[in-house]
């Protein structure tokens, strides 16, 4: 085993004891939450964490609670041993927390596969039994911030994210947590949750990491065909043009929106949304005269990609 391979911890109690031992020694602890299948974007979060903390924990957990029954939980890419190798090569990661299950949401996927009429609300209320327990029924919701953008087409997504992140904070007890700003709405929701519930965790938003051709790094990129991947470059290309137009005086959100939609649709993308919102409140703006972020979600083939670009006026 490589000397710099991180310790793998699977049990919640063991993870909490490990963290408390490190903090008792006066160490500042940073958490980098991930769903695995690590790429350079994740490793950039780890590098940022290394610059501001003494000890780093990376969590690897594919969270069922943030997937609707029709979404891609079953096909979400996974390579745990490859992830450990990448973390060892990157260095600086002290522990990997990879629990088997953090939340029994009660979504009976096999039954839903057989009976499409088995509604979502009924599904999430039927608690599955976990080993030694009765499942879970408590969710955390950041009610206003979760409604727009991705929340429109993924209504259960952010309650699943907020609940699991809250559990990770309670188990790992980090001083700092680092999130990528590619998932911009998620980052803002976590910031608000931490403020509202008084978690003693400093949240860091790390800038988007892109491939050499401009495509935002994502675990889902592996599902793109070569042709779809080439077409997906229209996302960043259109966002860059939109930012340039806004900085040169074109401040109508509708005109900027139309510019982005046209370029992406011309490339064959199917728009989920393109929205220009104020950076903290995520409220849509009619005119770009304050700090905003342009957020997009687009389908190329069967792959849904998100991206964004900030504009500071």
Number of continuous H segments (helices) and E segments (strands) in the chain: 10, 9
pTM above 0.85, yes or no: yes
- Average pLDDT estimate for 222-241: 97
pLDDT tens readout for residues 56-68: 999 999 998 888 7
pLDDT tens readout for residues 237-259: 999 999 999 999 999 999 999 99
pLDDT tens readout for residues 4-31: 889 999 999 999 999 999 999 999 999 9
Of 19-33, 104-118, 176-190, 201-215, give the lowest mean pLDDT range.
104-118
pLDDT tens readout for residues 82-131: 999 999 999 999 999 999 889 886 544 333 333 333 333 333 333 334 44
Residue 131: what pLDDT? 47
Percent of the chain whose predicted confidence (pLDDT) is above 90? 80
Average pLDDT, the chain: 90
Supply 249's token pair. 């005086």
Instruction: From the candidates 39, 42, 136, 223, give the one annotated as an active-site residue.
Output: 42
- Checking if the pLDDT of 2 tops 70, the result is no
What structural domains and CATH numbers belong to the chain?
A: 7-206 (3.40.50.620), 219-311 (3.30.1300.10)
Contacts of 213 (CB under 8 A, 6+ apart): 233
7-9 β-sheet, strand order: 7-9, 95-97, 55-60, 29-34, 176-180, 202-206
Closest CA to 44 of 211, 192, 161: 211
Cα–Cα distances in Å, from 178 out to 49, 114, 193?
7, 40, 15
Residue 105: what pLDDT? 67
Percent of the chain whose predicted confidence (pLDDT) is above 70? 88
42 is catalytic: yes
């Amino acid at each position: 085993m490589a000397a710099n391979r991180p310790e793998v911890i699977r049990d919640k109690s063991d993870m909490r004891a490990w963290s408390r031992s490190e903090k008792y020694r006066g160490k500042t602890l940073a958490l980098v939450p991930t769903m695995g299948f690590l790429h350079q974007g994740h490793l950039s979060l780890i590098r940022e964490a290394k610059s501001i903390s003494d000890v780093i924990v990376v969590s690897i957990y594919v969270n069922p609670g943030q997937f609707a029954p029709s979404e891609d939980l079953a096909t979400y890419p996974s390579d745990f041993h490859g992830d450990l190798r990448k973390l060892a090569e990157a260095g600086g990661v002290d522990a990997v927390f990879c629990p088997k299950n953090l939340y029994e949401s009660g979504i009976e996927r096999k039954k839903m596969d057989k009976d499409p009429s088995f509604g979502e609300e009924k599904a999430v209320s039927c608690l599955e039994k976990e080993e030694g327990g009765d499942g879970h029924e408590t969710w955390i919701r950041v009610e206003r911030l979760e409604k727009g953008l991705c929340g429109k087409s993924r209504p259960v997504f952010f309650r699943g994210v907020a609940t699991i992140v809250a559990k990770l904070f309670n188990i790992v007890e980090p001083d700092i947590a680092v999130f990528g700003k590619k998932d911009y709405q998620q980052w803002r929701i976590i910031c608000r949750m931490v403020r509202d519930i008084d978690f003693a965790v400093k949240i860091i938003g790390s800038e988007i990491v892109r491939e050499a051709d401009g495509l935002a790094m994502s675990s889902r990129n592996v599902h793109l065909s070569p042709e779809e991947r080439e077409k997906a470059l229209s996302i960043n290309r259109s966002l860059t043009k939109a930012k340039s137009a806004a900085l040169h005086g074109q401040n109508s959100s509708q005109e900027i929106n139309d510019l982005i939609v046209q370029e992406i649709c011309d490339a064959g993308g199917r728009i989920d949304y393109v929205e220009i919102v104020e950076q903290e409140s995520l409220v849509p703006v009619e005119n770009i005269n304050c700090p905003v972020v342009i957020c997009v979600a687009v389908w190329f083939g069967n792959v849904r990609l998100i991206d964004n670009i900030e504009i500071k006026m």
